[in-house]
Structure 1
Amino acid sequence: MLSDSSRANRGWWDGNADDYQVEHGEFLRDTGFVWCPEGVDEAEARLLGEVRGRRVLEMGCGAAQCGRWLVGQGAEVAAFDLSHRQLRHSQRIDLDTGVHVPVVQADAEVLPFAGGSFDLACSAFGALPFVADPLAVFREVGRVLRPGGRFVFSVSHPIRWAFPDDPGPRGLTSDRSYFDRSPYVEMDEYGTPTYVEHHRTMGDWIGLIVASGLTVTGLLEPEWPAGHDRVWGGWSPLRGEHIPGTAIFSCARA
């Protein structure tokens, strides 16, 4: 059964997938692997290491742009997303590019894959910011990874929650406690949640990873690159000069 968070976010992404792909599709590229609004590209960063011949799971894949890049590198890929409409965009891009990624609609807290099915798992701002129980997700990742398998995922940098989600000067002044873990919730006129995003501190993320049995092997806080002038929601060159916008965690299963 879907949690309230998952139910709300499935509806939100189904309703907003078209606009999202129109606004961000060119930046993400149909067959590209972009980790974050700062533009960290897996083709250069190689956070996953060698992927040729590896079985890879893309979690919260959206239109599976990252998975399509992985296929192009010789990986065997499966992908899932909570949103049916996002997966329809994945099918559209499959037809446009001729690069096919098998996708399934699923909740990250209960993965529909057999244990030990994958060598690698990855998620670029998918699933983890939106789930009520991230420990369940990490445990599921550990279950579907083979021994020695690796998981790399990106999320909003936790420090951003202490600041307004504003790309301009207002977004440079903290207006709430970093330690306030209240989720961001949008509701309809009846008080039903329609969008939910959860805040975890850096310590929370590390603690959850460790509690799941995974090992943290790396943490990247991308700096805003020179000449990159794209604004994406609360991400901007102005804010990027002062505070990190993204955290990318690398983990391993024993």
Structure 2
Amino acid sequence: MSPPGRVGRKSTTREPIIQEPEPFEPEDPRDAAREQDEAEAIRRTAGVAESARANRGWWDRNADDYQREHGTFLGDGRFVWCPEGLDEVEAELLGPPEELKGKDVLEVGAGAAQCSRWLAAQGARPVALDLSHRQLQHALRIGGGFPLVCADAGALPFADGSFDLACSAYGALPFVADPRLVLREVRRVLRPGGRFVFSVTHPVRWAFPDEPGPEGLSVSGSYFDRTPYVEQDEEGRAVYVEHHRTLGDRVRDVVSSGFRLVDLVEPEWPVWNTSEWGGWSPLRGGLIPGTAIFVCVRD
């Protein structure tokens, strides 16, 4: 999941420019833990370049911990949209699985490319893109035989009309200062009639503490405060940035970027899911939405 590794904005060929990750080697998990302990969490502005630089570094440093902690839940070849556990097998937000065969699909903010692996198993032709080199090393470690591209989602290195479908499960969009840059790039590389489905943290969660227990059920801030959440080092440099958009903002971003919004899915917390994932939990999931999934079409 992820965001500047520009790889050439407009290629004239269908083939992406691939940065092959080096062979995977485990890193010392204490390095990421030390950085997290030293980071100061504040609310302040953060622009496009600062957000991309901070989040690329954060995901590179924390990819190992992320895959260790969530790899079992995500699986190596499942397509899970969100912490609630909504699976594309049942949701069919990209369409019936049998209709995916032969489709060119771009996964934005792919992480270890679990969703792309599932798409490939359905006969699709996925390309997994992520800003984090380390996340793509995990994708290489698991394998799959499809292209891995290290690039900024706001400057996609593909020709116009390269893909039939695009998807993003918590990838890129929560972390970019201007999501319209990503949306417009995705629209550009989609063919007419192409569908883009993306999931993000539900905007209402911004007003609540990021806690899974009862302490996370009381409003602690304004839903309308769009000031980014920033973790910064002792010199004031951002090391992690997350941006807030209200639900109305998200809809306007989609429409102003040239998409038609055809569905907005707010997954309910299922009874079988007993996991806690940051501020997500059965307690909170039964009371407030955690995820919003936008289904968009390029006419």
Band the TM-score falls in, shorter-chain normalisation: over 0.9
| Residues 170-249 of structure 1 mapped to structure 2, 5 A cutoff | 170-249=215-294
The one-letter amino acid paired with 1:92 is R
- Higher RCO by CA contacts (8 Å cutoff, separation 6 or greater): 2
What TM-score does the superposition give when structure 2 sets the normalisation length?
Answer: 0.83
RMSD: 0.8
State how far apart, in whole Å, the 1-side matches of 2:288 and 2:120 are: 34
Question: Aligned to 2:289, what secondary structure does the other structure show?
Answer: coil
Match of 2:56 in 1: 10
Which of 47, 50, 59 in structure 1 is aligned with 2:108? 59
Residue among 26, 41, 44 paired with 2:87: 41
The CA distance in 1 between the partners of 2:272 and 2:253, in whole Å, is 36
Long gaps (5+) in structure 2: 5-47
Deviations 1:20-57 (A, max 9, x none): 00000011010110000000000111110031111000
Note the alpha carbon deviations across 1:84-114, whole angstroms, 9 max, x for none.
00000000000xxxx2221111111110111
Q: Does 1:84 align with 2:130?
A: no
User: 1:169, 1:146 → 2: CA distance?
Assistant: 46
CA shift, 1:133, in A, is: 1.3
Unaligned runs of 5+ in 1: none
The question of whether the paired residues in 2 share the 8 Å contact of 1:35 and 1:125 is answered with yes
Distance 1:101 1:21 in 2: 20
* Distance in 2 of aligned mates of 1:204 and 1:14: 29
Q: Map residues 128-147 of structure 1 onto 2, 5 A cutoff.
A: 128-147=173-192
Paired with 1:158 and 1:133, the residues of 2 have a C-alpha distance of 16
Q: Which runs of 4+ in 1 moved over 2 A?
A: none
Equivalent position of 2:194 in the other structure: 149
**Within 5 A, what are the aligned runs for 1:112-131?**
112-131=157-176
Distance in 1 between the 2:222 and 2:141 partners? 42
- Superposition TM-score, scaled by structure 1 size: 0.97
**2:119 counterpart residue number:** 70
Report the AA paired with residue 167 of structure 2. C
Q: In the comparison of the two structures, how many residue pairs are matched?
A: 250
